[in-house]
Amino acid sequence: MEIITLLIDTIVGTLSNIARLALLLVPVIVLIEIARYYKLIEKITGKVKGALQFLTLPQEAAFPLLGGMLFGIVLGSALIIDYSREGILKKRDLLLIGIFLSISHSIVEDTFIFAVFGANPFVLLGTRMLLAVIITRIAASLIDHFAAKQAY
């Protein structure tokens, strides 16, 4: 009997948490879809030139990088697979995008969900973005260093 009450309490508590989340999550997902529909990423790819330069990535990397970062790793990877088939990006660039995205992806949804549960969204976003940029930059240096050494 005690266990049944415990389970009912847990289910009620969890469902009310999810309901609270739903109030905020639904508008956010709808906004994300609208941004996707109006091809917002294509419109801002030109504005991240400086950041790409710092990461030593070409302009073509902007779309998969921003897409994966904002909307999720699956979308990012789908774009990456397309790009690699078409030979738009070099192997090194693809690897760097993979590193960046594995650290920092679908940041809108993730940050949102945890913020609803009480986490500080700025700390969350800041840490993830900062780490992604730093780690990708270090990886770029390492890859180029070893590629130069091989001297093919």
Residues in contact with another protein by the rule CB under 8 A: 3, 6-7, 9-11, 13-15, 17-18, 21-22, 25-26, 28-34, 36-38, 73-74, 77, 80-81, 84, 91, 94-95, 97-99, 101-103, 110-111, 113-114, 117-120, 123-124, 127-128, 131, 135
Query: How near is the Cβ of 110 to another protein at its closest, in Å?
Result: 5
User: With respect to another protein, which residue has the nearer C-beta, 44 or 130?
Assistant: 130
Q: Does residue 75 contact residue 42 with C-beta atoms inside 8 Å? A: no
Shortest distance, position 47 Cβ to another protein, whole Å: 22
The whole-angstrom separation of Cα 38 and Cα 24 is 22
- Residue 152 and residue 143: Cα distance in Å, rounded? 14
- Report the alpha-carbon distance of residue 11 to residue 42 in Å, rounded: 43
Closest distance to another protein from the beta carbon of 111 (Å): 7
Least Å distance, CB 53 to another protein, is 20
60: DSSP letter: G
104-127: burial string, b at 16+ Cβ within 10 Å, e else: bbbbbbbbbeebbeeeeeeebbee
Q: Which is nearer to another protein, 44 or 82 (CB)?
A: 82
